[in-house]
Amino acid sequence: MSDNYEKIAKEVIEAVGGADNIISAAHCATRLRLILKDRQKVDDKVVEEIEKVKGFFFTSGQYQIIFGTGTVNKVFEQVSNLGISGTSKSEQSQMVAEQGDNKFKRAIRIFSDIFVPIIPAMVATGLFMGLRGVLLQQQILAMFGLTPESIPSSLLAFTQILTDTAFAFLPVLICWSSFKKFGGTPILGIMIGLMLVSPSLPNGWAVAQGTAEPLVLFGLKMSGYHASVLPAFFAGFIGAKFEIWFRKRISDTFDLILTPFLTLLVTLIFGLLIIGPIAHEIEVSLVYVVTMLFTLPLGLGGLIWGGISQLIVVTGIHQALSVVEIQMLAQTNWNLVNPIGSCAIAAQAGAAFAVGMKTKSKKIKALSFPSVISALLGITEPAIFGVNLRFVKPFIMGLVGGGVGGFLASLFKLKATGMGISALPGMLLYLNNQFPLYILVIAISFGVAFALTFMFGYKDKEEQ
């Protein structure tokens, strides 16, 4: 297969009815998301035959084409180069009108658009954490005749830079992405983010735990939002809206001076004194509720989440979990969502593999086996939409397998050092004494879904 992404982009645009039929284009970790004027102009068969396309589906007003991690970025870049990336106000109004009043799904899509661009930083940080954990294990050091005390302090400081920076300055990343999403100037978003984590402010988590005193201004308590998510998100949203509002009302003569000045001043007042404290309480409660779910006794939380997580993927709202994972990592340095989600992913791979093994149809085999590889690499859309949901029962058996694996993951108290990678690549987040248990629960999830699908979940007559 060639890597002519410009050709692929042109074929995609033509297959969905041409550039005139595209309102806007965006992408998540695996899919090219197109909002179209007329769904009926799309030739699904042509889309399916385009090189590197692993599947497609239409949901929430979006035509989503599955390319997979890495590939989708390159295709989107070429689509953007062909002039399909932006949206005008009239087009946005039309897009909202066509999508109806489903505000919840639109909100989820906004969260996705903001947090997907910063996930690579989270992935790298998680891998650094895993590698640091391996290097500092006593058993590993003993192999070289060393102890933890033998490691130079400068080397420890170097590793801490790699593992701590992204979370310490997390509001900077989120404000930048929020400003960009909502039409503001990204550099102002970076400034707001830096102000939220200014060294002059006491750490918000320390204030919440009573180990530091907040600053008081006009009778309102003020603290920093190091490793926080929602305060930065809302500050970015409000800041971008303020900038747009000021820019419309300030003459061109004074725009360069007054608009940035007023945007930063007003946004910081709102962010530190009004919205920040409220948003911080919300995120603390959110992480607490999710943590409680995953720590329910007898593995019940893992059973529940492992059984429904891929069902949530079908709806497309799973991207909202990025907020929880990022905040959980920032607050505790651990991710309880990843191991259970990985079990659910492996189970869908097992179900698709059973279909491929049992069917006599060359076409279904050609769909099944590549989708298994994709799922084991963490991308389940080809397996779900191309195979399992097509026959329904394999998808259900995959949910059962995910529930079993999630149940065991909870019992074993598995927790990842990062986020953004799962299934087999997710092994890199468990390079410690959890590694054998992680492999075990992944294998069991795959095996349960495979066995159930092979015995009860698929017959060739259903394909017909």
In order, the DSSP letters of 180-220 are HHTTS-HHHHHHHHHHHT-TTSPBHHHHHTTSSPPEEETTE
Higher per-residue pLDDT: 116 or 8: 8
Burial readout 226-240 (b: 16 or more C-beta within 10 A, e: otherwise): bbbbbbbbbbbbbbb
As a whole number, mean pLDDT of residues 400-413 equals 95
Listed residue (219, 171, 220) closest to 198, CA to CA = 171
Residues known to be catalytic? 28
The rounded distance, in Å, linking the Cα atoms of 414 and 435 is 9
Give pLDDT, residue 461: 63
% the chain with pLDDT above 70: 91
Listed residue (286, 179, 188) closest to 228, CA to CA = 286
Give pLDDT, residue 100: 46
Higher per-residue pLDDT: 274 or 1: 274
In order, the DSSP letters of 209-266 are TTSSPPEEETTEEE-B-TT-SHHHHHHHHHHHHHHHHHHHHS-HHHHHHHHHHHHHHH
As a whole number, mean pLDDT of residues 76-104 equals 59
Instruction: Give just the sign of the alpha carbon dihedral 376, 382, 384, 390.
Output: negative
Is the pLDDT at 401 greater than 90, yes or no?
yes
Cβ neighbors of 317 (< 8 A, separation 6 or more) are: 104, 105, 108
pLDDT band at 102 (very low <50, low <70, confident <90, very high): low
Q: Supply the DSSP symbol for 427.
A: G
pLDDT digit string, tens, across residues 230-251: 889 999 999 999 999 999 999 8
At 57, give phi and psi (nearest 5°): -165, 165
At 22, give phi and psi (nearest 5°): -100, 120
Pairing mode, strands 31-36 and 55-59: unpaired
CATH number of 5-99: 3.30.1360.60
Q: Which residue reads 């029962």 in tokens?
A: 393
Can you name the residues that pair with 55 across neighbouring β-strands?
66
| Domain segments of the chain as ranges | 5-99, 169-280, 297-463
Listed residue (281, 264, 280) closest to 225, CA to CA = 280
At 86, give phi and psi (nearest 5°): -95, 170
The rounded distance, in Å, linking the Cα atoms of 351 and 359 is 12
DSSP H or E segment with residue 21: none
